[in-house]
Amino acid sequence: MLLSWLYVPGDRPDRFAKAVASGADAVILDLEDAVVAGRKAYARDAVAEFLAETHQVPVQVRVNELTGPDVDADLAAVSGRPGLAGLRLPKVESSATVAALADRVNVPLHPLVESALGLEAAYPIASAHPAVASIGLGEADLRSDLGVNDDDGLLWARGRVVVAARAAGLVPPAMSVFADVTDVAGLAASCAVGRRLGFLGRAAIHPRQLPVIVEAFRPADREVARAAELLAAVAEALRRDSGTVVLPDGRFADRAMVAAARRTVDLAARYAA
């Protein structure tokens, strides 16, 4: 359960090590939108060199579009590198393209839905292959395709991706990037909306966004206290050999509540420092 990812352009090797040390839970080296056509080859070489060894946080690579002319060269450059923790797959619109790629590589795959067609296939994409570790939205392209200009227009799309991920047994998805790196309040408000929809974490395009993201998605003290109280009640019920767990506020605790409480406590412990 990771809360923050940091995107770095693949043609900026001077930023790679800084990104790994930024405090992000994972780093994404971008060979797609962040790199212009004339610098693709340079970016591939730079990314491949950086991935020649492992790093202290997972490092993923966003390759170019699976149906485009650059993806084969991307895969040839990064496949088999010790430091490659996964591939981000942009503009995915069918489960077949994901399954075909999974047969060519041996790393976790993270498809991104960025169009209305991809959104319609969200669950098939999420369940396309055991190598699929997560799915997410590419909201800039999706906004353009749907013709919406604000977050309200994306509520249904966001909810659909959350449901598709969970229905496929995947971790809750992370939110797409927030483009305005100066608008801290706007980022926090947007993260709060995403968290209520079921997202877990968010991708960033600048290190200054990372603390805001972690603070927004990390369980609050009151949530942790309630979760710990529930788990203590469950432990006491087990000690008494009772199948019924009643919380101090009178609520009955079921297995779903126990699982959620354990996730909350585990996540809080992870980010306690």
**Which CATH number do you get for residue 84?**
3.20.20.60
90: left (phi over 0), alpha (psi -120 to 50) or beta: beta
Domain limit, last residue, from 190, 217, 244: 217
Confidence at residue 263, expressed as pLDDT on a 0 to 100 scale: 83
Percent of the chain with pLDDT strictly greater than 70: 93
Task: List the structure tokens of 125.
Answer: 């994409």
Domain check: are 258 and 188 in the same one? no
Residue 133 has pLDDT above 80, yes or no: yes
Band (pLDDT 50/70/90 cuts) for residue 247 is low
Q: Residue 187: pLDDT above 60?
A: yes
The pLDDT score that the predictor gives to residue 234 is 77
Radius of gyration (Cα) for the chain, nearest Å?
20
Assess whether 191 and 118 both reside in one domain.
yes
* C-alpha–C-alpha distance, residues 269 and 229, integer Å: 15
**Better-scored residue on pLDDT, 237 or 16:** 16
Number of domains in the chain: 2
| pLDDT number for residue 241 | 65
Q: Give me the amino acid identity at 63.
A: V
Same domain for 225 and 191: no
Q: Token pair for residue 101?
A: 């790629």
Give pLDDT, residue 150: 82
- Regarding whether 116 and 243 lie in a shared domain, the answer is no
Mean pLDDT (the chain, rounded): 92
Residue 198 confidence (pLDDT): 94
Last residue of a domain, one of 217, 232, 263: 217
Tell whether 242 and 195 lie within a shared domain: no
My answer on whether 199 and 247 are in the same domain is no
232 and 98 belong to one structural domain: no
Q: Is the pLDDT of residue 20 over 80?
A: yes
Other residues' Cβ atoms within 10 Å of the Cβ of residue 110:
25
For the residues 49-66, what does the mean pLDDT come to? 97
Kindly report, residue by residue over 81-113, the tens digit of the pLDDT.
999 999 999 999 999 999 999 999 999 999 999
93 annotated binding-site participant: no
107, 233: one domain: no
Arithmetic mean of pLDDT, 12-27:
97
Asked if 201 and 5 touch (Cβ cutoff 8 Å), the reply is: yes
| 114 labeled part of a ligand binding site | yes
- How many whole angstroms separate alpha carbon 1 and alpha carbon 142? 25
Q: What are 104-112's contacts with CB under 8 Å, separation 24+?
A: 104/75, 104/79, 105/75, 105/79, 105/131, 106/131, 107/79, 107/131, 108/132, 108/133, 109/133, 110/60, 110/86, 110/134, 110/135, 110/136, 111/135, 111/136, 112/62, 112/88, 112/136, 112/137, 112/138
CA proximity to 71, closest of 40, 95, 46: 40
The whole-angstrom separation of Cα 114 and Cα 144 is 9
CB within 8 A of 202, min separation 6: which ones?
Answer: 3, 4, 5, 174, 175, 176, 177, 178, 191, 194, 213, 216, 217
Q: How confident is the model at residue 243 (pLDDT cuts 50, 70, 90)?
A: low
185 and 229 in a single domain? The answer is no
Range of the domain at 131: 4-217
Query: Do 168 and 267 sit in the same domain of this protein?
Result: no
Model confidence at 273: pLDDT above 60: no
State the pLDDT at residue 15. 98
**Closest to 153 measured CA to CA, from 137, 166, 130, 132:** 137
pLDDT above 90 for 228 = no
Name the E strands within 10-124: 26-30, 59-62, 84-89, 109-113
Q: Could you give the dihedral angle defined by the CA atoms of residues 224, 225, 227 and 230, in that order, rounded to the nearest 10 degrees? A: 170
14 has a pLDDT exceeding 80? yes
Q: What is the pLDDT of residues 138-186, one digit of tens each?
A: 999 999 999 998 888 899 999 999 999 999 999 999 999 999 999 999 9
Whether 35 and 89 map to the same domain: the answer is yes
For residues 128 and 52, membership in a common domain is answered with yes
Q: Could you tell me which of 262, 175, 192, 191 has the C-alpha nearest to residue 226? A: 262
The answer, yes or no, to whether residue 269 has pLDDT greater than 90, is no
Q: Tokens 């080296």 map to which residue?
A: 29
pTM over 0.85: yes
